[in-house]
Structure 1
């Protein structure tokens, strides 16, 4: 029994260190591009062993939060948006929670009778219009993602009269007593088109994360279908798993 308790304690320590470091980065105590403290300084700050510090730092490097630079050391990787899959949130909500300033550039807004696939997902009659909104999403003025969302006409009419560069969709819905209950998400890898690459300031053909989300409202009816393509250099998911 005694031999099994040691690994559990070790795991909890480096996870605690890792989570505290993430919090310090979010609170701007560790600045982008800045060198992180030395191992000795971190050992003293967290009162843990060198092995624990190295485990925590190694995970943060793997997750893209820190970056090792040859001949220099380890720095805080700049402009990285760390998303979470633990709760249903919009882009702006997630950005604010990470201590970042969210903004958008409207690319397209239209009521359309096209998009049969998206209509079928939303359970909208084929002869009915849906609202289509495309936006370029920024965090701290850095382009992070291209978002295309589809909404049934009744909900779309609530959105289309607002400033869609500044508004938070979910807040508008809640003001109208429409609340998201749950969502289904699918994540896949895609390559950036030249148009997408130009918008995001990346190379054509570069790997991107594609997230498809179908959200359900008050009466378990689908009310939003969104496809978001994230620059993989600027965005990563952080998932906590428990057993």
Structure 2
């Protein structure tokens, strides 16, 4: 099955960055130029660019354009905990609103981070996560489709970790996490009930099972004044 066009563009630009076509900190061509180069609509091109921004490969500078992202200082955070458990521990009622839920061909970034071969599918879902009805974050998650075969949509979207443990005996054990700052886009601002341009915390996370297999690749945008990370050294 052929990958969606925006995924193909994502893969090509990612490869170009890795091959040094554009250096770290260098501005890539404007969306109009890239849309003409790939012979696609601006909307399709913008979707591809957004996936690269979400993956931390590119970054947008308001009024200046899109640039190859700088490497950032990384701090390891200890342990792996589901959003549901975090909210319960904080005395809040967890809930989610699913924006999209589809089986798809993985992007090159998802193939690498989830250690998939090209024939595998992923479940990609977009959710808004709430604590006692207050939007806390916007989340995009990719999970190997064969890992959740036989799971209901409700089980997966309500608490993936709980479903894995109770239905498959699979236990999340650790995660690699990268945190950076970003500004809320118009779309995300609407989802999270904040102003466009408001500061957000962006988390990219690869989560692993007890046997070492990566099972989840997530990029999440948190409202800065509603969530904080605690680092253990």
Shorter-normalised TM range: 0.5 to 0.7
Whether 2:147 is the aligned partner of 1:155: answer: yes
Q: Given the alignment, which residue of 115, 118, 128 partners 1:126? A: 118
What is the CA–CA distance in structure 1 between the aligned matches of 2:194 and 2:180, rounded to whole Å?
A: 19
Indicate how the Cα distance of structure 1 residues 164 and 207 shifts in structure 2: closer, same or farther if over 3 A, else same.
farther
Q: Deviations over 1:89-122 (max 9, x none)?
A: 0111000011111110011110001422112210
Q: Given the alignment, which residue of 72, 83, 89 partners 2:81? A: 89
Instruction: Indicate if the aligned counterparts of 1:130 and 1:156 stay in contact, CA closer than 8 A.
Output: no
Aligned residues: 156
TM-score, with length taken from structure 2: 0.63
SS in 2 for 1:178: coil
Whether 2:163 is the aligned partner of 1:172: answer: yes
What is the CA–CA distance in structure 2 between the aligned matches of 1:104 and 1:164, rounded to whole Å?
A: 12
Q: Gaps (5+ residues) in structure 1?
A: 1-84
**Aligned position for 1:40:** none
How much has 1:212 moved relative to structure 2? 1.0
SS in 1 for 2:87: helix
Instruction: Indicate if the aligned counterparts of 2:170 and 2:209 stay in contact, CA closer than 8 A.
Output: yes
Instruction: Indicate if the aligned counterparts of 1:121 and 1:225 stay in contact, CA closer than 8 A.
Output: yes
- Which stretch of structure 1 is more off in the superposition, 122-131 or 97-106? 122-131
1:17-56 map, 5 Å: none
Aligned-CA RMSD value: 1.7
**Aligned position for 1:24:** none
Whether 2:131 is the aligned partner of 1:139: answer: yes
Question: Runs in 1 of length 4+ with deviation above 6 angstroms?
Answer: none
How much has 1:127 moved relative to structure 2? 2.7
What is the CA–CA distance in structure 2 between the aligned matches of 1:171 and 1:196, rounded to whole Å?
A: 27
Instruction: Indicate if the aligned counterparts of 1:103 and 1:165 stay in contact, CA closer than 8 A.
Output: no
**Aligned position for 1:99:** 91
How much has 1:87 moved relative to structure 2? 3.2
**Aligned position for 1:71:** none
What is the CA–CA distance in structure 1 between the aligned matches of 2:121 and 2:209, rounded to whole Å?
A: 19
Indicate how the Cα distance of structure 1 residues 239 and 143 shifts in structure 2: closer, same or farther if over 3 A, else same.
same
Indicate how the Cα distance of structure 1 residues 110 and 103 shifts in structure 2: closer, same or farther if over 3 A, else same.
same
Indicate how the Cα distance of structure 1 residues 164 and 206 shifts in structure 2: closer, same or farther if over 3 A, else same.
farther
**Aligned position for 1:211:** 203
Whether 2:217 is the aligned partner of 1:225: answer: yes
Instruction: Indicate if the aligned counterparts of 2:177 and 2:206 stay in contact, CA closer than 8 A.
Output: yes
Indicate how the Cα distance of structure 1 residues 167 and 208 shifts in structure 2: closer, same or farther if over 3 A, else same.
same
- Whose Rg is larger? 1
What is the CA–CA distance in structure 2 between the aligned matches of 1:186 and 1:217, rounded to whole Å?
A: 18
Indicate how the Cα distance of structure 1 residues 217 and 113 shifts in structure 2: closer, same or farther if over 3 A, else same.
same
What is the CA–CA distance in structure 1 between the aligned matches of 2:108 and 2:160, rounded to whole Å?
A: 23
How much has 1:156 moved relative to structure 2? 3.3
**Aligned position for 1:192:** 184
Instruction: Indicate if the aligned counterparts of 2:156 and 2:163 stay in contact, CA closer than 8 A.
Output: no
How much has 1:157 moved relative to structure 2? 2.3
